[in-house]
Amino acid sequence: MKIGVLSRNKSLYSTKRLIEAAQQRGHEVEVIDALRCYMNINSEKPEIHIQGRELSHFDAVIPRIGASVTFYGCAVLRQFESMDVYTPNGSVAITRSRDKLRSLQVLSKRGVGMPITGFASKPDDIKDLLTMVGGAPVVIKLLEGTQGIGVVLAETRKAAESVIEAFMGLKANIMVQEYIKEAGGADIRCFVIGDKVIAAMKRQAQEGEFRSNLHRGGSASLIRITPEERKTAVQAAKAMGLGVAGVDLLRSERGPLVMEVNSSPGLEGIESATGKDIAGLIIEYIEKAIQKKTPEKPLPNS
């Protein structure tokens, strides 16, 4: 097969591993920087060019689109889709997963467990918003935050009101969420491929910190997840329409709660925590999907 990896940087761990895994399995691979692609959009023969040459004859593309290039990256992916190139994560599903509000709305509609969550832009009654999510302590999040930045634990109602007012002053959209204390500063990253969780790791926050992000000093370790956690993670990926997803769960008294679903989950943390060849499993999943898409033609007279 000829596989394109939509990535801005060949030397990123995840990109490198996907290249290696595809080559090991006998495929031809090219890394494509979406921002450098330009496209001809027409109904007869849609085309994508890069540096004066046409990108053609790809069987599959693996999108590794960073959050900052979602818009153009998804436009290039959409163009590949209209050229009938297979992708495990479609442009619509990626766009859906990048919008935290929309994602939680989709998940709640499918009955997937999640922390009680309020959304607000300019709430005219902060007290009511807090009551709506069950009162303090609450976790307040800036919608556009990543790596734990812009995620605040407000232990009291007064503190929560001040933080919400401060965020409102920044004209930011915010999420106000029930604090899952019993998670004990840990979350579980489930790596989903198709309808299976193929690896899981626990991320534990540093002493005195509730955010388990590795960028905030959290540490990763191997964990055995329950059948219910497995089911929840697969259900969440499915609801989002993602073939490959990183689903983050909190362990609560009422079962697993989904915090977020990532459409370009990193491979480094999970491969080193579990020792699994996750890049290889992604390539294998794509091989199978393409075999299904193009069934072998029956032999004549058979």
Binding site for ligand ADP (CB under 6 A): 115, 139, 141, 145-148, 151, 177-180, 183, 187, 205, 210-213, 248, 250, 259-260
Spatial distance between the Cα atoms of 3 and 299, rounded to a whole number of angstroms: 28
Separation of CA 81 from chain center? 19
Name the CA dihedral angle for 144, 272, 193, 103, rounded to a multiple of 10 degrees.
-10
Determine contact, residues 72/35, Cβ cutoff 8 Å: yes
The nearer residue to ligand ADP, 167 or 179, going by C-beta atoms, is 179
The nearer residue to ligand ADP, 24 or 217, going by C-beta atoms, is 217
Closest contact distance (angstroms) between CB of 99 and ligand ADP is 13
The nearer residue to ligand ADP, 16 or 141, going by C-beta atoms, is 141
| Phi, psi values for residue 119, rounded to 5° | -120, 145
Cβ neighbours of 255 (radius 10 Å): 13
Closest contact distance (angstroms) between CB of 72 and ligand ADP is 22
DSSP string, 193-214: ETTEEEEEEEEEPPTT-----G
Closest contact distance (angstroms) between CB of 67 and ligand ADP is 10
Spatial distance between the Cα atoms of 106 and 96, rounded to a whole number of angstroms: 9
Structure tokens at 49: 């060019």
The nearer residue to ligand ADP, 76 or 138, going by C-beta atoms, is 138
The nearer residue to ligand ADP, 139 or 286, going by C-beta atoms, is 139
